[in-house]
A and B are shown apart, each in its own frame.
Chain A
Amino acid sequence: MKHCGKKIVAASLAALMVTGTFAGCHKTTNTSSTANGGVSSSGTGTKGQVYYLNFKPEQADQFTSIAKAYTQKTGVKVKVQTAAAGTYEKSLRSEMAKSDAPTIFICNGPVGYKTWGSYCADLSDMKMAKQLTNQSLALKDGSKIVGLPLAVEGYGLIYNQAIMDKYFKLDGAKAKSMDEINNFAKFKDVVEDMTAKKGKLGIKGVFASTSLKSGEDWRWQTHLANIPITYELQDNNTDLTKGVNEIQFKYGNEFKNIFDLYLNNSVTNKKLLGSKSVGDSTSEFALGQAAMVQNGNWVWSDISKTDGNVVKKEDIKFMPIYTGHSGEETQGICMGTENFACINSKASADDQKASIDFLNWLYTGEGTDYVTKSPSDGGLGFIAPYEAFKGKSPDDPLAQEVEKWENKSGIKTVPWDFTCFPSQNFKDYFGSRLLAYAQGQCSWDDVKNGVVSKWKSEAAASATSSKS
């Protein structure tokens, strides 16, 4: 009897361990959804399938419903999987290693292309590529188009018109309307005067917190840095498609101009900025504690959703980020994209064809409504740079502002050249130097020299590894 009991215990323990082993294998980390429309069940074996690895978690539901609609119409299976925020590169690496790898994936520009180049199919002959309104927006390898933008986004200084109007009405205001502010000198006068009168304006500071927490510093090390570096690259006529090996950071002092202005006229003491996140700055702006925040059109949904938001839809506007560059009176806001859709060249020919058809349908065919409809109506709310979207604009106030600035006569928009910044490590390093500078632990020259040498070493690191 005793033996028998032991046997049972041993057997059940063994069984338990085996179940444990296989239960472990079953775990899935990403939210996945396969759209299975009614038609697809009737034998689609030879038709090819689409697997889109989505970059934007905020649009996961919309893409899933678009996939469903497409499957119902055509019978082609479309699988949409979304990577959690900030983990796209990781998800892509592991998904690509599987046998049913994504057929459409997102590449973030020339630097991402260095990693994923061998997976990108030539899209030059695609209908969608031909309908691109501005060919320079595509991701190119030489003259070959390898990635197509899904949306154009814009960023600049977002201001609250209500607070600005309050200031313009004060005695001795340095300007009477936003139109008068078209260069850094004027802007600085206005901002410093506003800080002096912040009690009267009912704000805590002109600018929302310059968030310098690790991982929350992209508005400075990427977006703000884009402006002086774009000017430098334009001076040198650099060809971005090959990657940029070295910079002088020639207009670094212009970066310092605006960055100092942000730090000294902020809601938060500059020594404490290492604890502030982008979300903090968004809520400061939404609550009316700050008159301005540097960010892009995507931030409107966060502002409008903030509890106690005082910013009205008609009061939220964009202005260009002036840095003191000569001739900046004609500078517009920064527009571009860092999300290029690429087709996996290692997928089967049928799957590639199905993926191309799907994108064509969405951006040039019947699916275009899904792109511009606002997210609450099941659309993507994108500003899409294709022929089919001319005259259609999304109803988000900041997206409309982006279009307004794009079409202003005599204004040149600044491209998103930060897609050629050598690596994430470079950006993180830049951000940490800016934090040290804000905390008074290093001089501006240290920042500048560090940026130049880190750029060089990171660019060299990726160059040698792609050759070997």
Chain B
Amino acid sequence: MNELLQIKNLHVVYQTDEETVYAVNGVDLNLSEGETLGLVGETGAGKTTLALSILNILPPKVGKITEGSILFEGEELVGANEKLIREIQGNKIAMIFQDPMTSLNPLLTIEDQIGEALLLHRKELSKDEISQRVEEMLKMVGIPPERKKEYPHQFSGGMKQRVVIAISLACEPKLLLADEPTTALDVTIQAQVLHMMNQLKKELKTAMILITHDLGVVAEICEKVGIMYAGEIIEVGSLEDIFKGKDHHPYTKGLFGSIPDLNSDVSRLSPIDGLMPDPSALPEGCKFHPRCPNCWEMCKTTVPEYVDLGNGHKIRCHLFGNQNGGGGI
């Protein structure tokens, strides 16, 4: 399979006058064409920051990539010139934002908003062709094309999210970054939208990074899962490995322990003790060690390397370091 996206040792900080927030700390990630990766983690784990850095839209002056590289189709995106970035934004990589209520311009018709990406990236298209393509996109996401002249406030939340999805898919991007696309929607609409995204993804062969808190959503549409904690991907593997495999990072175990299970007879959930560390003052060694039930001396001093358990299942934890010799990505 072709590697579409390769992220190596990415570090991102938010620098303000008072403090430096270490949002992403050495993320490695590979994604092939057409593959779907679910990125799961607590709020503040750096999931959205990771997506923003791929698209190069970190808040200007505050957010900075300090180290590492992002290769997209073999091209380096970190420090790339503006022309290349614009070429990729919205065209080859598109993003779906969390809240459809606020991510549409209230003063433009949805036709104008879907057409905008086409206008910018498909300059060869005539007005009629753009209009035609807009209608196709609307049909694809299940909105009657007659409604293209309407404004965002005339649509319901679920419909708006469909419009947002239509915008992001208008240029048939190679990679779609979906930042909690269903969080703002109610459960029935969530299911509809997820089902639709799944289908569109297969139709267009788009790779996707799905950012979410919801493990159920991940199980539904992802092939690969990455667990993020304090700016690191601490475990990554196939859906099978993460959901059914035996070996896990202690944090992953805690995460799954926090989900109610209908089949096992327990009276209480087993959540993870403590809170996520303050990203402006991260602990030494493994970032998870203050909350880890399996913590030992080495965890407090040394940052663990990825350990490959085979089949692309990698864990960043000292518990697994010795049995396979450690190291290696």
The judgment on whether A and B are partners is no
